[in-house]
Amino acid sequence: MKKHALRLALPIVAAGLCILWADTKVDYDHHADFSRYHTYSWIKAEAGDQLWADRIMEAVDRQMMAKGFQKVPSGGDVAVAAYGSVHNEKNLETYYNGFGGGWFWRGWGGDGIATTTVENVPVGNLMIDIFDGGTKKLI
């Protein structure tokens, strides 16, 4: 049962993540019998704009079909929902110019110049939920 859950969950979560160093977390219902699920349908996909929502749905569709699931318009054995968001995090970079300034082996140096720049780095989150189609419980 655990083997089936990981086979299903890992590729689906990874489908929307294109960056190799992304932090991926997976959780699932350890009591669910994943071998009894054969069809799926979409509840919704929200990602800020329709272009990204469509890309997420296509990636999840590919992974689900690769695992033997058949997509149905409604009433699937499982229902899929995806939520994507992006926010900016500030990244501070400090550069020490000239002679002196900054940290040296025996402490601080002389009269150097330090320049700090602020860069906004977009950070994205993608959460894909899979529900049992009959009980509507998150699996």
Percent of the chain with pLDDT over 90: 55
Domain residue extents for the chain: 2-86+124-132
Other beta carbons within 10 angstroms of residue 105's beta carbon come to 5
Q: Which fold has domain 2-86+124-132?
A: THUMP fold (3.30.2300)
How does residue 53 score in pLDDT terms, banded at 50, 70 and 90?
Answer: very high
Average pLDDT score, the chain: 82
With DSSP H G I counted as helix, E B as strand and the rest as coil, what are the percentages for the chain, rounded to 5?
Answer: 25, 40, 35
Q: Does the pLDDT of residue 13 top 70, yes or no?
A: no
Strand partners, 104: 107
- Measured CA distances, 27 to 41, 116, 120 (Å): 20, 40, 30
pTM of the model: 0.65
Q: Does the pLDDT of residue 15 top 60, yes or no?
A: no
